[in-house]
Amino acid sequence: MNRWSERMIEAAIRFSGFVSIAFVVMIFLFLLTEGHALFRVTGLTDFLLGRNWHPISTPPQFGILPLLLGSLAVTAGASMMAVPLGIGTAVFIAEVAPKRLAGILKVGVELIAAIPSVVIGFVGMVLVAPVVREFFSLPVGLTAFTGSLMLALMSMPTMVSIAEDAIHAVPRQYKEAALAMGATRWQAIYRVILPAARPGILAAVMLGIGRVVGETMAVMMCTGGAVAIPSTLLQPVRTMTATIAAEMGETVRGSPHYNALFAIGIVLFLITLIINVTADLVIHRGRRDSP
Amino acid sequence: MNEGNAGKPPGAMAGPPRRTVTALEAAERVSGPTPLAEAPETIVEVRNFNLYYGAFQALKNINVKIVRRAITAIIGPSGCGKSTLLRSVNRMNDLVPGVKTAGQILVDGEDIHGLGAEPVALRKKVGMVFQRPNPFPLSVFENMAFGPRIHGTFRKSEIHEAVERGLRAVLLWDELKDRLKASALSLSLEQQQRLCIARLLPVKPELLLMDEPCSALDPLATERVEELMQEMKENYSIVVVTHNMQQASRVSDHTGFMLLGELVEFGETREIFTHPHDHRTEDYITGRFG
Ligand SMILES: Nc1ncnc2c1ncn2[C@@H]1O[C@H](COP(=O)(O)OP(=O)(O)OP(=O)(O)O)[C@@H](O)[C@H]1O
Ligand SMILES: [Mg+2]
C-alpha cells in the first residue's frame, strides 16, 4: 500500500516535470511554425540587422534592429537602476534594518508584484512622464528612460526577495568571525557576506532582468512607441514586446507581417532562454566552488 | 634565515650557538611594540565582573588576572559561563541583545568599556578562535588577506608577505602554498582550524581567545593544534576554553575552574590538578560531576 502510493506520487511528480518541459518545447515549436515563413520573404540578416520596420508599406520591410535596440535600451536602463537599488535594499533588509522595519519593507517590496502592469504603465504615463519631460526639458516625456524607471520598479520584487534570501542563507558564523577580527558591520557585509552570497545574488539579478525583457504592457504605455534606433535613453523607443502586442490585432493570419511578429517572438524566447540558462549555470558553478 | 652567516668561514662562529640567537631575533620581530622584558606581567585583568542575559546572571563577580605569554585554560561543566567570559574579553557579547555588564575588564591596563574604547581596536588586539572552524567561504588567500585589508593594509606586496608569514606560523605554508586560490572550505578540518588561527596573526594580536578549538577535531589533529599552541605562547598570550581535562593539564600554565557563573578557583595548572583548594574543583576534576 505504502510502496504503491509512494510510486504514484513519484510518477505524478515526474509527469508534472515532463509536462512543463513539454509546454516549453511546444510553445517554441508553435513559434517556429508560425514564424519561419517570414524567412521566405526576408533573409535572417535583413530581419535581425535591418534598420527599417515598415510592415504595412509596399513592399514591406521587416528589419527589427530598432526594436532590438529599443528593448536593449529599456532593459539596460532598468538594470542600471534596479541592480544597485535591489541589492542595496536586500542588504538593508537582511543585515541592517531593525526587525520591524525589515518586515515592513519586505512586505512593501513584495506588494509591488501585486500591482498589475497596466496600472504601473498608467502611473508611468500620467505621473512620471511629465516629470521626466520637465526635468530633462524634452519635447515628450514618453521615453526609454521613463519605461526603464517603471521596469526597474517592476523588477524589484524578484530581485530583492531572491537576493535577500541568498544573503540570509549565509551562515551567521562567518559574520561573527569577521566582527571578531575587528571588522565593522559594513566591512563584514562587503568583504564576507556579499561574496558568500554571490551566486544567489547573480541569480537574482538575472531573473530580475529576465522579467524586464519580457515585460510588455508597462513599456508599451511609457516608452512612446517610436520605431527608431535610439541614441540616448531620453528618446521614445519601441520594444519587441510592445510591437507584438500593438500590431498583432491588425495582421492577417498567415501574412508576412503576422509571420514577422512570430519571428520576433522567437527572438524574445531565445533571449530569455539564454538569460535563464546563464542564471542557472551561475548558480550551479557557485555551488560547486563552495561545497 | 642564516644567510647572513653563509659567507663567513666556519671559524668566525665562535661563541653562543647560532640557533639560540636567531630564535630570539625571531621572537623579537614578531612580538611587536613591547619587548619581552618591559611588558607587564598581566595582559588581562578582570575586576568584579558581572554579566546578565536579561534577568539571568551568567557571570558572578569574576576576578582574575591572565598572565602574558602563557596559556590559561578555563574549565567547567556545560553552561557554567566559560564562553560568556571569553566573549566578554573581546566584547562579542555586545552583539547579543539584552546583555548588561557591571565591573571592569582591563586589557593591557585599559578598561575595554571605558570612554573612547572601541570594539574594533580591541578586537584587533584580541583575536578569537571558535569551536567549529569557520573560515570564510573564500579562497585561502582571501581568508588570510581579510585582516590586513580591514585594518588598512592594501599594498599587494605587504599583503602577500603577511599571508605567507601567517601561514608559516601555523605550519600550513608548505601544505598550502600551491593552493592559495582554493576554497578554504575544501581544506581538512584541522587545516581549517589552523587557517582560522593563522588569519588572526597578520593584524598582530597580543591575546588569542580559543573557545574549545579542538572539539571538532580528531585526536591526532588535536595533538597537533596543541603543539601549535605551545609554540605560539612564545609570542602570544592564549586563553583556551576546554571540556577536555587532559587538554587543560597538558597545554596550560594556569587553569581556572568555573561553576554556575562563578570562578571557583584559579591558579597554576599543576596546583589545580594535584592540590585543588576547593572541594568543588576536586569533585569536577576527579569526574564526580559535570
Ligand atoms: N544569548 C544568550 N541568551 C541567554 N542566555 C544565554 C545566552 N548565551 C548563553 N546563555 C546562558 O548563559 C549560561 C552560560 O553560557 P555559556 O555559553 O557561557 O556556557 P559554557 O560554559 O560556554 O557552556 P558550554 O560548555 O556548553 O559551551 C548558560 O546557562 C546559557 O544558557
Ligand atoms: Mg561554550
pLDDT band with cut points at 50, 70 and 90 for residue B287: confident
Return the CATH number at B66: 3.40.50.300
Q: How many domains does the structure of chain B reveal?
A: 1
The contacts of residue A15 (CB under 8 Å, 6+ apart) are none
The answer as to whether A139 is a domain residue is: yes
User: What range does the domain containing B90 cover?
Assistant: 33-133+205-285
Cα B83 to Cα B44: distance, rounded to the nearest angstrom:
16
DSSP state of A237: B
- Per the structure block, which three cell numbers stand in for A113? 508584484
**Using one digit for the tens of pLDDT, what is the confidence trace for B196-244?**
999 998 888 899 999 988 888 888 888 888 888 888 888 889 999 998 8
Amino acid identity, position B152: G
The answer as to whether B129 is a domain residue is: yes
The answer as to whether A26 is a domain residue is: no
Neighboring chain A residues of B154 at a CB cutoff of 8 Å: none
- Over pLDDT 90: what percentage of chain A? 56
Q: How many domains does the structure of chain A reveal?
A: 1
The answer as to whether A114 is a domain residue is: yes
B136 CB within 6 A, ligand 1: no
Nearest CA in chain A to B203: A181
Angle at B64 between CA B261 and CA B77, to 5 degrees: 35
Q: From B51, B52, B53, give the residue whose CB has the most ligand 1 atoms within 8 Å, as the site to mutate.
A: B53
Average pLDDT over residues A178-207: 91
Atom of ligand 1 nearest to the CA of B85: 18
The contacts of residue A9 (CB under 8 Å, 6+ apart) are none
The answer as to whether A22 is a domain residue is: no
Query: Which of A48-57, B5-14, B112-121 shows the lowest mean pLDDT across its residues?
Result: B5-14
Neighboring chain A residues of B136 at a CB cutoff of 8 Å: 174, 177-178, 192, 195-196
How many cross-chain Cβ pairs, A to B, lie less than 8 Å apart?
75
pLDDT band with cut points at 50, 70 and 90 for residue B121: confident
CB A215 within 8 A of CB A126: no
**B36 to each of A212, B80, B110, B228, B236, how far by Cα in Å?**
65, 35, 19, 20, 11
CB-CB: which of B120, B134, B136 is closest to A182?
Answer: B120
pLDDT band with cut points at 50, 70 and 90 for residue A93: very high
**Using one digit for the tens of pLDDT, what is the confidence trace for B26-84?**
444 444 444 444 556 888 999 999 999 999 999 999 999 999 999 999 999 999 999 99
* pLDDT for B29: 41
User: How many Cβ atoms are within 10 Å of A217's Cβ, its own excluded?
Assistant: 17
* pLDDT for B288: 66
What ipTM goes with this model? 0.79
Neighboring chain B residues of A179 at a CB cutoff of 8 Å: 92, 95, 123
CA A204, chain centre distance (Å): 11
The answer as to whether A178 is a domain residue is: yes
* pLDDT for B40: 64
Question: pLDDT higher for B144 or B16?
Answer: B144
Chain B positions contacting chain A at CB under 8 Å are 90, 92, 95, 119-124, 127-128, 130, 132, 134-138, 142, 146-147, 149-151, 183, 185-186, 196, 199-200, 203
Cα B164 to Cα B201: distance, rounded to the nearest angstrom:
11
Average pLDDT over residues A160-189: 92
Return the CATH number at A125: 1.10.3720.10
Pairing of strands B262-268, B254-259: antiparallel
Cα(B216) to centroid(ligand 2), Å: 13
pLDDT band with cut points at 50, 70 and 90 for residue A142: very high
**Using one digit for the tens of pLDDT, what is the confidence trace for A272-285?**
889 888 888 877 76
Cβ distance B130 to A176 less than 8 Å, yes or no, reads yes
* pLDDT for B216: 82
- Per the structure block, which three cell numbers stand in for B225? 593544534
User: What range does the domain containing A250 cover?
Assistant: 66-289
Cα B175 to Cα B166: distance, rounded to the nearest angstrom:
13
Cβ distance A187 to B138 less than 8 Å, yes or no, reads no
DSSP state of A197: T
Say yes or no to pLDDT of A33 above 80.
Answer: yes
* pLDDT for B38: 52
> What is the pLDDT of chain A when averaged over all its residues?
89
Nearest C-alpha neighbor of B224 from the set B276, B188, B259, B263: B188
**Using one digit for the tens of pLDDT, what is the confidence trace for B122-173?**
998 999 999 889 999 999 999 999 999 988 878 888 899 989 988 988 888 9
Q: What is the DSSP string of chain B?
A: --HHHHTS-GGG--SS-HHHHHHHHHHHHHHTTS-TTTS-SEEEEEEEEEEEETTEEEEEEEEEEEETTSEEEEE-STTSSHHHHHHHHTTGGGGSTTEEEEEEEEETTEETTSTT--HHHHHHHEEEE-SS----SSBHHHHHHHHHHHTT---HHHHHHHHHHHHHHTT-HHHHTT-TTSBGGGS-HHHHHHHHHHTTGGG--SEEEEESTTTTS-HHHHHHHHHHHHHHTTT-EEEEE-S-HHHHHHH-SEEEEEETTEEEEEEEHHHHHHS-SSHHHHHHHTTS--
The answer as to whether A231 is a domain residue is: yes
B96 CB within 6 A, ligand 1: yes
- Over pLDDT 70: what percentage of chain A? 97
Cα B176 to Cα B178: distance, rounded to the nearest angstrom:
5
